[in-house]
Amino acid sequence: MKRKDIGGNGGGGCGEREVSLGNPKRINHSAGEEERQDGSGSPRSSHQKAILSLRPAPETLKEAVEYFSGDLGVCTEFLASVRWPTGPECPACGCKAYSYLRSRRLWKCKDCRRQYSAKLGTIFEDSPIPLDKWMLALWLIVNCKNGVSSYEIARDLKVTQKTAWFMLHRLREAMSGRKFGFSKIGNNEGGSGVEVDETFVGGRADFMHKERKIRLRRQNTESNAPNYHNKTIVMGMLDRDLRHVRANVIPNVTRETLQAAVLKHVKHGSNVFTDEWVGYNGLHYRFVHDVVNHMETYVNGQVHTQGIENFWSLLKRTLRGTYVAVEPFHLQRYVDEQVFRFNNRGGKKKEARVTDGERFLKALSQVTGKRLTYAQLTGKTGEKATTPF
């Protein structure tokens, strides 16, 4: 989809050119220290203009480094153009009439007279880390297939490892789509169906210290607990038509937990493919349920769970190879990170694939309306302290 952009034609003429909607609008405040606009977004005076940037959005890591490095004004305008496509808007009252304080990179609402920045109400709020470092960290985490370590971010951006760890968790919060709601997946009109499966994340018993292994076995025997007592369970659903995954940490694999999740996320009447686990028994009352017995075969025509198994392999490669040790308390955000990258790959054909720049813009568009403080992250306050799952 294209839109017309009215601007200079090199010689100062009033020509028209078409620009992609993937390139965000950039506001130019070169006329003075303070720029003013009316409520409609049109210039208030002839020498104070708001024009579309001739500089395209970055498409590669090299372009991103050149685009964001050394100029916080560019980063602020880029974030503002993604957050407010039709022009800055006061978060308090919604008014679009403002004054721009160029030296402080702040907007001042002409209605309620409050000052606000592009970071207000986003995951960047109250962060002393400059926006250029945030932008590069976001680019790396959304485009590195196996994730990126906080130690690597610390070296690349010249921050401490603790700061980098906190930054990455805030970026994972933005990558999560939970705050925007969702529609059910699947298709009850003859679609390819939905694959449902669960996996267990945790240390392998083969590599545990002998005393810890004995202690866990004793605990399992005394409490009559299953063999995954020391594991964290993740349940996933893959829509074959959309090529999208939904995955969540769950407390157990009982029939009530598994089937409640399927009913919540999958349309009634859809084709559902699972393994032979007894927790899925009874799904045929609301879905077209087919089962593949992994004791006999892994694929039986269209009946298989190989697609969701592919996602599990990517997730565990990330957890074991990059992050190494992940606490169950934080596991959901690491799952959300991998879900975002998996769901933003695009189609199978080359022309349908999502570029690094498009994936970056998608993540940046989700930073608004989300906050994560260090106290919440470490479980010292709020809901996270009592309900980690």
> Percentage helix, strand, coil, to 5, in the chain?
35, 20, 45
- Are the beta carbons of 370 and 173 closer than 8 angstroms? yes
Confidence of residue 190 (pLDDT cuts 50, 70, 90): low
Give per-residue pLDDT as tens, 312-368: 999 999 999 999 989 999 999 999 999 999 999 988 888 889 999 999 999 999 999
Confidence of residue 24 (pLDDT cuts 50, 70, 90): low
Give DSSP secondary structure letters for 114-166: -EE-TTTTBTTTT--S-HHHHHHHHHHHHH-TT---HHHHHHHHT--HHHHHH
Determine the pLDDT at residue 226.
59
Which domains, from first to last, does the chain contain? Answer: 20-57+84-118 (no CATH), 184-328 (3.30.420.10)
What is the predicted pLDDT for the residue at 56? 84
24 close to 57: Cβ distance less than 8 angstroms: yes
Give the per-residue pLDDT at 54: 41
Give CA–CA dist 292/272, Å, rounded.
11
pLDDT at res. 182: 74
Coil, strand or helix: which one is 338? helix
- The chain-wide mean pLDDT, for the chain, equals 82
Task: Give the pLDDT score at 223.
Answer: 58
Task: Write the pLDDT tens digit of every residue in 213-223.
Answer: 788 777 767 65
* Highest-confidence segment of 7-21, 187-201, 307-321: 307-321
Look at residue 304 and give its three-state secondary structure.
strand
Six-digit token pair at 245?
Answer: 């995954």
The pLDDT of residue 216: 75
- Say whether pLDDT at 306 is over 90: yes
pLDDT confidence tier of residue 210, bands split at 50, 70 and 90: confident
Among 87, 81, 15, 79, residue whose Cα is nearest residue 53: 81
**pLDDT of amino acid 224:** 55
Top mean-pLDDT range of 178-182, 188-192, 250-254, 271-275: 271-275
Average pLDDT score over residue span 234-250: 94
* Arithmetic mean of pLDDT, 181-196: 82
Query: pTM for the full model?
Result: 0.81
Q: List, for residues 91-137, the tens digit of each pLDDT value.
A: 999 999 999 998 899 999 999 999 999 999 999 999 999 999 999 99
- In percent, the amount of the chain with pLDDT more than 70 equals 80
pLDDT of amino acid 180 = 53
Closest CA to 318 of 198, 172, 205, 207: 172
Confirm if 148 and 165 have CB atoms less than 8 A apart: no
Q: What is the mean pLDDT of residues 373-384?
A: 78
Residue 258 has pLDDT above 90, yes or no: yes
Tokens coding 147: 């994730």
